[in-house]
Structure 1
């Protein structure tokens, strides 16, 4: 008997995500984001969410929808420059933000998913990343209400490194191009960015897949994320799978 992880709907898949939960969310910009699961979470009403994601969508799509609805209280991210509401909430003390180097974020997710509690990296040495004092949350008057703490540093072979903690979250939401009923996933091109890492970090990982196949249809050598990291699979409709947005469209003069 095979283990079938397919859930009937996105709403059912996220129904037990409570207010106050921590979430790792895959994607990069608007590329490869689990938009259907995010929409179901928005409809479900959970609030005070603590989100770990490379960025926070845009004002009207992706995690930006949860942000606009005031459902997110904290983010751990590396790039947040495409969302005006994010900027407003952060600068007015309504949102706590931990900004970390992008490679460090990726490794913190991978480490957490691999059972590694912490690691040393040279990224951030000599900056507020290591020394502390970055504004995690502002006060209403513009002062720093919650500064980032200083981190342990250590010298190895004459070079200084900073200690970073692995990230483990209550849930993870990801999107894959192909998935089977056992949760084995394949990501298309650039969607294989933060999705596998976010999936590894979640205690309960939910994957929306654009095409659902039967166990054995995916060549084991082509599996990007083994099903051991995935607890629930949601098969998208063709319309849901095709509903993708471009964060910033850029064309040359000759293409106009």
Structure 2
């Protein structure tokens, strides 16, 4: 089964449709599938529902899909670094379902593992828990959260072999593996593709069975916020 494609556009060919549900990996701007996001923008697919920890920043990452008015709804944990995200939400141009970070990651993982839902204490007694089923275990209240199953997962890894076995670096492991797991189809971009057997099996974070298509590319790796320390006088 061929998994390696020549470009992001080729890897997404035949998978996109208006109104689809996409799970996107990354944490802030760390480990985001920037090439696949750009290809989504170029494809013009609209009315998207996207599950992602946040929506990038203005002009980069998922922010470019927001600016192009391609997103109908976000399932996210954090809004703060994207002014257009906040503006669309406050002006009711964009639907937003807030999820605590751990809950969102677990919803993705659960969907990928075939688990329809799970109970968590996080969010009980807050707006997060409104309208959700509540059960008591050992005297504690828990709310039911549903697993996420997306039409498409777009993720980024540091290194993968041609079968899709992948390694993620540091913070990129927060959301990329569970996001990859929960998609009916997973497209992954990587910095380097190697042959099977070149990766240490003990270092693989995501088995290739979850990955359907792969691309290799050059990445900008933009830094979300740069803080410079004042130079000390001699």
- TM-score (ref. length: structure 2): 0.96
SS of the residue aligned with 1:216? coil
Q: Distance in 1 between matches of 2:20 and 2:129?
A: 27
Correspondence for 1:215 among 185, 196, 200: 196
- 1:184-223 map, 5 Å: 184-223=165-204
2:223 alignment counterpart: 246
SS at match of 1:210: strand
For residue 92 of structure 1, report the CA deviation from its aligned partner: 1.1
Rounded Cα–Cα distance in structure 2 between residues aligned with 1:180 and 1:80:
34
Structure-1 separation of matches of 2:145 and 2:54: 19
Gaps of 5+ in 1: 132-149
Whole-angstrom distance in 2 between the partners of 1:110 and 1:254: 45
Matched, 1:226 2:225: no
Q: 1:27 and 1:190 mapped to 2: Cα distance?
A: 8
- Unpaired runs of 5+ residues, structure 2, are none
Partners in 2 of 1:182 and 1:194 — Cα distance? Answer: 21
Q: Give me the TM-score of the superposition, normalised by structure 1.
A: 0.88
Q: How much is the aligned-residue C-alpha RMSD, in angstroms?
A: 1.2
Shift of 1:14: 1.4
Q: Deviations over 1:188-218 (max 9, x none)?
A: 1111110001000111000001001011111
Please state if 1:28 is matched with 2:5.
no
Match of 2:86 in 1: 87
Runs (4 or more) in structure 1 with deviation over 4 Å come to none
Query: Are residues 1:54 and 2:31 paired?
Result: no
User: What SS does structure 1 have at the residue aligned with 2:65?
Assistant: helix
CA shift at 1:254, angstroms?
4.1
Aligned equivalents of 2:79 and 2:12: distance in 1?
25
Question: Partner residue of 1:37?
Answer: 36
